[in-house]
Structure 1
């Protein structure tokens, strides 16, 4: 077991999510017999998992050791860093540490659970320093596409780690404090064993750009459309973007409405923790319709084409409050998350079909990334000067590019982790010492199931190959009636009636061909009927449907 290899004097790093993938961040540190968790996030389902909306790391390894889990520290309030708390906290039952805005977002999410009153949320001030078990933790303020992103300085006798979370170097973030450059430089002088760092844009040259540039671009863009209603789709958590849109609207004598539940939640959390105080209250979805078109700016959820979000419903013409008209303008102030291209295109095509103009980041300065490009990563390495680089938060191509860049920046060592890999950070030479089981869970309706489990494998097969159910009624030896067949996703009942009739006869013949002893064997009978169905469909359609046989003996 890995526990036998863990020295109490050393510091170890173990990602269970977020290494080799973007999203689902779950990172663990071990020292002096205790574990520290950093972030607990989700990702979202895709076509590979029909019916699944939310995916998260499997916490089984640390849940089995929860008596040694000192606490969970959240770097910021994005879903891929805190979204799994509401699903997995009961497996962990540890205190949660967060700065005020992140704590406000988490409390709002936990209100939907049955255990919200049980979660101990400990608010930590910006630039605060605190202890979680044997871990001495200091927060260093960074910039990102959400308020209060924090790097964690994790100090132990076994080594010092700077765990960045998500970040960028934005000289004009518009909301929140700028990067604490002095603290990073001072930390570099003190000595850093390892930098565990965001790799999302490690293949992107240059810098990520500034929210200040976007603010100017949005104001100029809205000014191009006098007399026309303007809607802007953006990530709900980008409070700086909400601020910039509102300021741009005010510059052109327009009022702003928030359209979408998650936007209203973020607005509430932001205003409750001191942000957006210089803006008037937003107009409600219901009331904005009473304003002239030229006096409206709508901020909408659904920039990623989410089918239940506000913008998709507007594009389909079935939103209960908002109805865009020909000549109106929709601005996508966001990037396309890989995998969402088709969903976004569907929404954009729906809008264009309705005579609505669509503007994206390809057309105007309406979006910048929240993650560091290569020049920003190089700057971080120049400030911090770690001995070891551990790239996380990226696919393998991002992690490899990041590791190569770190070595170019004169970092002595770089180790590229995968989920489940245990790295000894210090003291001594860093090394991989072993692996532990890791996996993914998904929210299937109201329950959590393994992402690669039999349930979803069967569902996938049904999606691509259809399903068939056969009912046989027999005495000890003989069929007492024709087999009954039900199929899903394979046949048209009217057009394919002759095929169905032939298949039913084929099932009966397959059973009748069995010897008397085999016909008394339930397993032999059901397998003969199952194979008859699958072979017939494979010959006719090239498909092997999921087939169930119900055998009734009378």
Structure 2
């Protein structure tokens, strides 16, 4: 049987977030695997109590003895966020450039896992040999430090996995995109390119951080009072811009929010942000005149616990904001966050604060390739096969059309779990791997249909009722049942309790509770009775818990 080269996304194809990609080479049944990225996505209000969601790695956990390593392209949460949760099931080597490695170490530290033996730091534009894969890191530009594409060389041909990227002619911090090497790679021949689809609907070019800096300097120069700027902490170039603009406008700068401090520290540790003014502690910034300070803070998406939300609701211990101050949202709205973000902006405007966002001024550029950036990448790389990833289905289908426009002979459309045979023969989806999502519930990984989530959804929609019934040795009810309920719209509590007690007594009279089986039957009957009674009285069907206590 011939050796084959496979690609399989377990996350990030058909959605934006939680990227996890697998590559395999070898004879059927004897494949060696590598994983590229291991990210999370964030839960919304439909999942009470859930913060993080990540791909189910079950398919590769079964093959972990043949997994040669996890290769990380860059340090955004949707590419590294699941590592400390899932790595203990895989226990393989991890490869990352210095800045990404610093943030990875912190994630493991929080979990008390010593990963030193397994974490291998790769220098920028460095190589990793994991026979039969030879992996070369290629410096790209994106909205974070040290974004890398991967040239993956195998005996069957070369794959270029772009990771997240754009073409930024002036990234301000870090190297420019290594276009010379990309052209060389294209000339040497590329079997397949696995490529970012996020901005495929956006025309023109993604734009440069330098242009944002010029615009922000103008905006800040015209503001007279306190300035609060919110952006993604991971965008170190934007962070440096905030420092630069503060200095140029004669202001001090203070960082607010845990992520801002964490990323600032990590960037400094890796030799970045060396020539900026020193930030001052938010407690000391209180003593500085309003027109002499810039606060750079987290919360550009209206996150409830982030610094900006706490500042706007006057619950932040050190930073407050008042009429005629200005808040600059130097970021884009991530789809799904509109509601909470507009709520925050409306509150600020109502309080007399000036709000400046991408809707009114030029304050942000994306980190992903617009159509002209994509065109340039395809011209350089000239792949035989294109596999769009990192997008919802609408993005990936549009990217498929674009690849055909670019005369790519074999574009292949995928979704999570598809196994693509890239070689030998014409690239095509030929099998399906089990794929799905895991939810981080507290500190446990649970399945999508976990009972804990179903119960919480039920309680949040319908309320909760607990009934405790005391049973004598002869099997009779002793006194009245003890009733507790929460989240039910009950106005006349006494009447509701009276009706419930009546219904409960009527049901229990029909049972003789001598055996365990009869106990279970009574519990089931009582649940039906209480739910019916609650439905008739309130219109709700609460989550019901029945306790039988023998005395």
Q: Same fold (TM over 0.5)?
A: yes
The answer as to whether partners of 1:518 and 1:525 remain within 8 angstroms in 2 is no
Instruction: Tell me the secondary structure at the aligned position of residue 111 of structure 1.
Output: helix
Instruction: Tell me the secondary structure at the aligned position of residue 479 of structure 1.
Output: coil
Q: 1:216 to 1:225 in 2, by over 3 A?
A: same
Matched, 1:57 2:61: no
Q: 1:519 to 1:265 in 2, by over 3 A?
A: closer
Matched, 1:132 2:148: no
Cross-structure match for 1:502? 499
The answer as to whether partners of 1:484 and 1:504 remain within 8 angstroms in 2 is no
Cross-structure match for 2:240? 243
Matched, 1:421 2:418: yes
Counterparts of 1:408 and 1:520 in 2: how far apart (Å)?
68
Counterpart selection for 1:543 from 540, 544, 548: 540
Matched, 1:30 2:28: no
1:231-261 Cα distance to aligned partner (Å, 9 max, x none): 1000000001011111111111111111111
Cross-structure match for 1:394? 391
1:36-57 Cα distance to aligned partner (Å, 9 max, x none): 0101111112112111111111
Instruction: Tell me the secondary structure at the aligned position of residue 12 of structure 1.
Output: strand
The answer as to whether partners of 1:162 and 1:195 remain within 8 angstroms in 2 is yes
Counterparts of 2:373 and 2:549 in 1: how far apart (Å)?
69
| Correspondences of 1:326-345 after superposition (within 5 Å) | 326-345=323-342
Matched, 1:223 2:221: yes
Matched, 1:17 2:17: no
Counterparts of 2:471 and 2:513 in 1: how far apart (Å)?
12
Counterparts of 2:252 and 2:493 in 1: how far apart (Å)?
58
Matched, 1:179 2:180: no
Q: 1:377 to 1:452 in 2, by over 3 A?
A: farther
Which TM-score applies when normalising by structure 2?
0.95
Q: 1:236 to 1:419 in 2, by over 3 A?
A: same
The answer as to whether partners of 2:489 and 2:538 remain within 8 angstroms in 1 is no
Instruction: Tell me the secondary structure at the aligned position of residue 521 of structure 1.
Output: helix
Deviation at 1:479, TM superposition (A): 2.3
Which TM-score applies when normalising by structure 1?
0.94
Matched, 1:376 2:370: no
1:355-384 Cα distance to aligned partner (Å, 9 max, x none): 322111111110111111222222211221
Counterparts of 1:177 and 1:225 in 2: how far apart (Å)?
32
Counterparts of 1:451 and 1:318 in 2: how far apart (Å)?
35
Q: 1:389 to 1:541 in 2, by over 3 A?
A: farther
Q: 1:303 to 1:8 in 2, by over 3 A?
A: farther
Instruction: Tell me the secondary structure at the aligned position of residue 27 of structure 1.
Output: strand
1:20-42 Cα distance to aligned partner (Å, 9 max, x none): 11111111111132110101111
The answer as to whether partners of 2:247 and 2:277 remain within 8 angstroms in 1 is no
Counterparts of 1:496 and 1:133 in 2: how far apart (Å)?
71
1:415-474 Cα distance to aligned partner (Å, 9 max, x none): 222211111111211122211212222222222222331211111111111121222223
The answer as to whether partners of 2:386 and 2:411 remain within 8 angstroms in 1 is yes
Q: 1:516 to 1:176 in 2, by over 3 A?
A: closer
Structure 2 unaligned residues grouped into runs of 5+: none
The answer as to whether partners of 2:94 and 2:118 remain within 8 angstroms in 1 is yes
Cross-structure match for 1:280? 277
- The answer to which of 450-459 and 45-54 deviates more is 450-459
The answer as to whether partners of 2:132 and 2:155 remain within 8 angstroms in 1 is no
Instruction: Tell me the secondary structure at the aligned position of residue 81 of structure 1.
Output: helix
| Correspondences of 1:150-189 after superposition (within 5 Å) | 150-189=148-187
Counterpart selection for 2:292 from 273, 291, 295: 295
Q: 1:170 to 1:118 in 2, by over 3 A?
A: closer
Deviation at 1:500, TM superposition (A): 2.6
Counterparts of 2:470 and 2:434 in 1: how far apart (Å)?
46
Counterpart selection for 2:96 from 77, 95, 98: 98
Instruction: Tell me the secondary structure at the aligned position of residue 496 of structure 2.
Output: helix
1:476-519 Cα distance to aligned partner (Å, 9 max, x none): 54323322222121144x64331232122122223334588999
Give the RMSD, CA atoms, in angstroms: 1.9
The answer as to whether partners of 1:10 and 1:159 remain within 8 angstroms in 2 is no
Cross-structure match for 1:4? none
The answer as to whether partners of 1:93 and 1:119 remain within 8 angstroms in 2 is no
Cross-structure match for 1:468? 465
Q: 1:488 to 1:159 in 2, by over 3 A?
A: farther
Counterparts of 2:484 and 2:175 in 1: how far apart (Å)?
63
The answer as to whether partners of 2:496 and 2:537 remain within 8 angstroms in 1 is no
The answer as to whether partners of 2:14 and 2:393 remain within 8 angstroms in 1 is yes
The answer as to whether partners of 2:7 and 2:422 remain within 8 angstroms in 1 is yes
Deviation at 1:270, TM superposition (A): 1.0
| Correspondences of 1:105-120 after superposition (within 5 Å) | 105-120=103-118
Counterparts of 2:114 and 2:332 in 1: how far apart (Å)?
33
The answer as to whether partners of 1:477 and 1:520 remain within 8 angstroms in 2 is no
Q: 1:520 to 1:288 in 2, by over 3 A?
A: closer
Instruction: Tell me the secondary structure at the aligned position of residue 108 of structure 1.
Output: helix
